[in-house]
Amino acid sequence: MTLKNIASHHHSSELRHFYRLKAGDLSGAVASPPSSVDRSRLVQGLRAYHERLGTLTPTLEAQLTKLQHPNSRVVVAGQQAGLLLGPAFTVHKAVDAILLARQLDTEEQPVLPIFWVASQDHDALEVASTMLLDFREHLVNLSLPLPQGIPVYRIPLHQEWVDHVSRAISDMDAPFKDRALKLVQDSAKGNYADWFAGMAQRLLGEEGLITFDPMFPELAALFVPALERELERPLASPHRIEDAAGELIALGFEPQLRRQAGATNLFLEGNDGHRRLLRYDGSNFHAERMYTLKELQEILRLDPSRITPAAGLRPIVQDTVLPTIINVLGPGELAYATQLGKVYDLHGVAQPLLWKRLSVTYIEPPVRRILSRYGITAQEFQRSPSEITERLLLQESGVQQAFREKLGELELLFEQLAETSVKLDVNLEGSVHRSRQRVVGHVQRLERKLARHLMQVENAREGQFGRLYTHLLPGGVPQERAISYLTYLAKYGDHPLKQLLSLPAGAQTPLDL
């Protein structure tokens, strides 16, 4: 079973022992033992960070005051620093953290939503592109020439990138595009990750969100103790991940995380600026060259942001610094988090509740009309677009009915032939049956060919099914994984966000606009 199967089996008893808390156990999360993190240093670092971003509003100040409470807890969501906030699910994750925090917050035990900006990520291809869709059905693919292999925190924001994106938004047929444009331009300062974080904070800060960048110097310094522990026993956490992988394989699941011999759970940013996985041979470490433990400890002392966790360590390092009770995760993250329980134990940290994130597909009025006309849902279309389109085109054209009638006539004819043949010679029954299979098979293949032809004609004229593809599966990818949330901000203003904030936490639902 793949990662999707692991995510869907998150609630099942066969995976229960991989988690400290069972799926959905909010009361167990709230009852988690108080975290001993240094809240004063954490708040000090966050205040400095938001001063730099220009997002230290009275609302955020009030949230930071609550975070300093000795019994405060946090709900954490996070994502890479994608262009224009990346795919819409990034905002959905952040909103889910807000919804959960609101649900659990009390005066005696404040609960706050934190959004972790994965600014140490060095895969530029994952964060350099996004899509916008306006009222003309104009799907714009935006992309920036980010350097590959360098943490996005180290990439300076270029004015030409801001101008390029601003022109694309300005060209949209969307009544609230000035709101989106202001968000983009007000946040355009610092590095590429700052641009993303500024947008996230300006969009959701008044709803209580606190963005957090682990590469910001005063926040990076908080991770030193956990990273020192990992350097001292560099293969202990990879071995535990591999042990969990073995257990999953024995249960029939395909593990999301694997660790090759000698691979650690740490990355090093070399003197050339590139981020590379650290390997350990039992005596020394290796990246672009050999490093001793003392050299890495010195790097950690001088600039802790140069040593960063891999996916198999990042949540644990996060939860050594934040008083986390819930991690809001997507399906892929949920799959690899299944293997991390014993890594938490290694660092003496309680694994928080793993929560499957809010998932939303926006249904705009023209799309709603098409779905209603054909009696299908957005989820059904996204799951089997070709099959549904072919079936409905055949149905609409009348071809399907004609074929069904002719097939019925053929079936009746072969039944009559079989009866006559058996009377003449019982051995002819098999021959008639094989002939029936061949003829019916030819007719069904012809029906499929006609369906494909109808699809080609439909695609050429960009009809209503083409519209469904554009809105629900742009580029063959589900909407929330492709189109930027700024599309819906530019087209509908505050309305989509108000609807998101009215949903129950963790909802998996279409949303009518």
DSSP secondary structure letters along 406-424? HHHHHHHHHHHHHHHHHHH
**326, 257 Cβ separation under 8 angstroms:** no
One DSSP character per residue, 199-226 reads: HHHHHHGGGT-EEE-TTSHHHHGGGHHH
As to burial, measured by CB atoms within 10 angstroms (0-12 exposed, 13-18 middle, 19+ buried), residue 262 is middle
Q: What is the C-alpha to C-alpha distance for residues 143 and 52, in angstroms, rounded to an integer?
A: 26
- Nearest-angstrom CA–CA distance, 504 and 147: 39
In a domain, 513, yes or no: no
**Total number of domains in the chain:** 1
* Domain contains 20: no
Q: Is residue 383 a part of any domain in this protein?
A: yes
Q: Look at residue 3 in the predicted model and tell me its pLDDT.
A: 47
* 147: in domain: no
Torsion angle in degrees (nearest 10) through CA of 440, 446, 448, 449: 160
Q: Closest Cα to residue 286, out of 295, 274, 277?
A: 277
pLDDT at 2: 52
The HSE-up count of residue 232 (CA atoms within 13 Å, CB side) is: 8
Residue 334's nearest CA partner among 348, 307, 354, 304 is 354
Give me the tens of pLDDT residue by residue for the chain, a chain 513 residues long. Answer: 554 567 777 777 788 899 999 999 999 999 998 889 999 999 999 999 999 999 999 999 999 999 999 999 999 999 999 999 999 999 999 999 999 999 999 999 999 999 999 999 999 989 999 999 999 999 999 999 999 999 999 999 999 999 999 999 999 999 999 999 999 999 999 999 999 999 999 999 999 999 999 999 999 999 999 999 999 999 999 999 999 999 999 999 999 999 899 999 999 999 999 999 999 999 999 999 999 999 999 999 999 999 999 999 999 999 999 999 999 999 999 998 999 999 999 999 999 999 999 999 999 999 999 999 889 999 999 998 888 877 776 666 555 555 665 656 666 776 776 677 766 666 666 676 776 677 666 666 765 666 565 555 555 445 688 889 999 999 999 999 999 999 999 999 999 999 999 999 999 999 999
Q: What pLDDT sits at residue 409?
A: 66
Structural domain contains residue 91:
no
**Which string of DSSP letters, residue by residue, matches 79-126?**
EE--GGGSBTHHHHHHHHHHHHHHHH--SSS-EEEEEEEETT---HHH
Taking the alpha carbons at both ends of the chain, their separation in whole angstroms is 36
Phi, psi of 184 (to 5 degrees): -65, -45
The answer to whether residue 394 sits within a structural domain is yes
376 within domain boundaries: yes
pLDDT for res 434: 75
Report pLDDT for 246. 94
pTM for this prediction: 0.88
Q: What is the pLDDT of residue 427?
A: 66
pLDDT at residue 458, as a whole number: 52
Do 481 and 474 contact (CB within 8 A), yes or no? no
What confidence score (pLDDT) does residue 387 get? 82
- Domain containing 468: what range? 364-479
Nearest to 151 by CA among 305, 48, 286, 330: 305
Res 448: pLDDT: 65
Residue 452 belongs to some domain of the structure: yes
- Cβ pair 262, 280 in contact under 8 A: yes
Counted residue by residue, the chain has a size of: 513
